[in-house]
Each structure stands twice: as C-alpha cells, then as structure tokens.
Amino acid sequence: MQHSAKILTLSVLSFVVIGCSYPVQQHSIQTSDVIMPAPIAARSHIAHKAAYNAVMPTMERPRLEQDTEKYQKNEVNPVHRVTDQAVSTFSIDVDTGSYTNTRRFLNDGRLPPVDAVRIEEMINYFDYQYPQPNGVHPFSVTTETVDSPWKENAKLIRIGIQAKDLALQQLPPANLVFLVDVSGSMSAADKLPLVKQTLRILTEQLRAQDKVTIITYASGEKLVLEPTSGEQKEKILAVINGLRARGSTAGEQAIQLAYKQAEKAFVKNGINRILLATDGDFNVGITDFNTLKGMVAEKRKSGISLTTLGFGTGNYNEQLMEQLADAGDGNYSYIDNKNEAKKVVQRQLSSTLATVAQDVKIQVEFNPATVKEYRLVGYENRMLKQEDFNNDHVDAGDIGAGHNVTALYEIIPVGQQGWLNDSRYQTSVKMDSTKKSEYAFVNLRG
C-alpha cells in the first residue's frame, strides 16, 4: 500500500510520577526501538489484533421485567474542516466497560442501548501489543495510517500509547479498600457471587506489603475488615466468602467511610485506591449524580483514587459507574463473567492500580496542505478545548503501568470528496510547502 503522507509525533511530557521532562525521538514503525514513530504498518495488523480474545462465555442471568438501566447520552463527534479548525484536543480514556457491557446485551440476544456503546472503550478493550518504551521514558507512541474500511477516499490514523510495564513485584505498596454493595439488588448470580469471585482472584495477587480494608453497604455501611496485610489471605478470603446480599442501597455514608479508612491506612508514595463493586443502584443517600461525582473529584486531591467494577443487569447504572471512575482518577470495568474477572484482575492488576502518568492529553494538529476534513472516532465525553492542553488545572485521564490506549481519526485527504460541501466563498489557506509529506502532528502532555 502506498501512502503519500505521514504523521509526525512530538512528545511534550512533564510527568508528575517522574517529575522531569523527556524528549522522545522518532523512529520507523518497523523498528523495535519505538518511542515516537512515524507509520506505517499493514492493515492486517489491526484486524488481527482486534480479532484476538473478542468472545468470552457468559453465564445464565435472570431477565428482569422492568429495565431501569441508566446511560449517559453522548452526541457523535462532528466532522471538522481543517481550514476552520485544524487542532483537536482530548483526554485519554483507559476504561473498557462499554465493551463487556455491550457483549452482555448481545449474549442475551438483545441490542444494547445506543448510549451504552462508547467506541473508544470498544477499541481500548484489546491489547495491540505496542512496543514497550525504552529507558526512562514512561510510554511509547505508535502512529499508523491505513485506508478507511467503510468510506471510500478516506483514511484512518491510529495513535497508540503504550505505558511502561511493571512486574507485580515492582509495584509500590498498595493500600486498597474494597467497597462492596451487599444490598438486596445484588443477590442475582451475576452480581454479588461474581463480585466475590473477583475479589478472591485479586486477593490471591496481594503481597505482604499490601493492605486491604473491606467495607460493605446495604441499608447501612459496615467495616467488616480492618486494614489487613496481604499475607493474611485466609483472613481476607473468609470475610469475602461471608458476604451476603440484603437491604436497600445506601451509598453515601459507605463512600465517605471508605475514604476515611483509605486516609487512615494511607501509604506515602504508594498506591492508595478504593475499588467500588456494585450495580450502581444507589437509592438511598447521595443519589444526585453531580453531588456524588463532585465529592469523589474532591477526594482525589488527597491522593486516593477510585476504581469502579460494574456488575449485573436490569437496574445497572452505567452512567454512575463510568463517571465516578473518571472523577476519581480511576478505571471503569464491567465484569460479566469469571473470565472477565480474571482478565481485569490478573492481566491488568498493575495497570489498574499503578499510575505511570497523570492527566494525559493528546493534541493533534492537522496539515491543511494534505488533510481536508477529519473526525475523532469516539471520546465524545473526553473532548477538551485547545487551550486546555497546556492548563494543568484541567483534569484528564491517567494511564497505568502496562496499559495501552488507542485513538482513531478518520480523515479526508485534500483533493478527495468528503462529508462536507466545499465552501463557495472561503479563501485559500497559505500552505507550508515543506510539510506536504505530513498528515498531522501529535503532541502529548501529562
């Protein structure tokens, strides 16, 4: 396949974790020593990776007569003329819950609600095996351009970020709080029983230097396990095995207690995180969405993050789960079977808990000499203003150890028919003739 233009990438990195800035060099995608490469790999590479591990078995689950699931409404990203708006800025998203939640609907023989499908989470569910970064660099960036498979004359630009992988033994000590919903709504087989399986798998990964606290909530909150060393696995597992579902769902005091316990056992320079396992059905306490999200966002300033693990069907509040994780600088995953629990906990334990870079933003400047129109595929609720890129007070997504993030742009090259009609009165834009081999320029900040 011949390509008339390429993508140039530049890293502008100032990482809180490392506290320094590092220039990132450019290399060919065929080179194994990749930090910030220019493309291009074969189209089949994407198709092969996307097909990997795409299907997982599910379990039988009860069908509820009334479906009260909640999803955030998102509008599809618009098409932009490069001559009108050449710069696109957005926050990374490491969540994958939309993929498994959508899979749950399909396994039940139903189409998912439109707003349950977030394309970036579908794409980011898969591991594309991007090259590991070298030396002190916290992550590598891979770019690639191929023909669009669904629109003639269009191309897809892929931007892939791979965070440095860390072995479990290399992770700093962890202070974890398991906040478990044991209300009556969690009694189904795909809820609390699956939560317990997930927590058992996680417990087996704990080290002696790690600490675990367990809090349950139903009609009220209860501290069922004081901070306990990871080497006391039998004690932790006994508490998990004893969890029972009953009562209504009072989440307000439980979340506040979880943060209080996390602060009590806080590990300086360690991992301090709350893992909330629930169907999101908060019907008592703080039920106002913005109030709850604001509380979590305020608490993250103390260095304690929040990860959400979603379970169940019928009354599932996906909007709450996804947005709480975003506000808490954590990850959102939906777990629909034991295999998914293993994937989230075992394969992604380090990326779920250990942050490599905070508030990571991507800014892409398109070249008007080669690109006529573009649109970002997905990331609708992650869009930022151009000036937000250099504003460290604007929150963005974090990336964990070993995690990878992928973003796709669909572009129309100059000279091709696009989505929009040509402007009758628009004046021509002055082009830089020395940059006609480039499609775009990618900047990263974290």
- Render 33-101 in DSSP notation, one character per residue: S-SS-B----HHHHHHHHHTT--------PPPSS---B----PPPPPEETTT--EEEEE-----HHHHH
Would residue 1 count as lying in a domain? no
Q: Are residues 188 and 154 in the same domain?
A: no
Domain boundary among 353, 370, 390: 353
The gap from C-alpha 246 to its chain's centroid, in whole angstroms, comes to 31
pLDDT per residue as tens, the chain (446 positions): 444 455 555 444 433 322 222 222 223 342 223 333 333 333 333 333 433 344 444 454 544 444 678 888 888 999 999 999 999 999 998 889 999 999 999 999 999 999 999 999 999 999 999 999 988 888 889 999 999 999 999 999 999 999 988 776 778 899 999 999 999 889 999 999 999 999 999 999 999 999 999 999 987 889 999 999 999 999 999 999 999 998 776 667 888 899 999 999 999 989 999 999 998 876 545 557 788 888 898 888 899 999 999 999 888 888 888 989 999 988 899 999 999 999 888 765 666 677 888 889 999 999 999 999 999 999 999 999 999 999 988 888 888 888 899 999 999 999 999 999 887 776 666 666 667 788 999 999 87
For 342, the domain range is 171-353
Q: Distances in Å between the alpha carbon of 208 and those of 203, 212, 353? A: 11, 11, 16
Domain boundary among 312, 337, 353: 353
Domain of 214, CATH number, reads 3.40.50.410
Would residue 92 count as lying in a domain? yes
The gap from C-alpha 91 to its chain's centroid, in whole angstroms, comes to 10
Would residue 264 count as lying in a domain? yes
Q: Are residues 214 and 75 in the same domain?
A: no
Would residue 205 count as lying in a domain? yes
Q: Are residues 148 and 242 in the same domain?
A: no
Q: Are residues 271 and 206 in the same domain?
A: yes
Q: Are residues 35 and 60 in the same domain?
A: yes
Q: Distances in Å between the alpha carbon of 146 and those of 61, 392, 411, 412? A: 41, 34, 10, 12
CB 121 within 8 A of CB 152: no
Residue 206 amino acid letter: L
Would residue 208 count as lying in a domain? yes
Number of structural domains (the chain) is: 2
Q: Are residues 145 and 119 in the same domain?
A: yes
Domain boundary among 285, 319, 353: 353
- Put simply, whether the predicted model's pTM sits higher than 0.85 gets the answer no
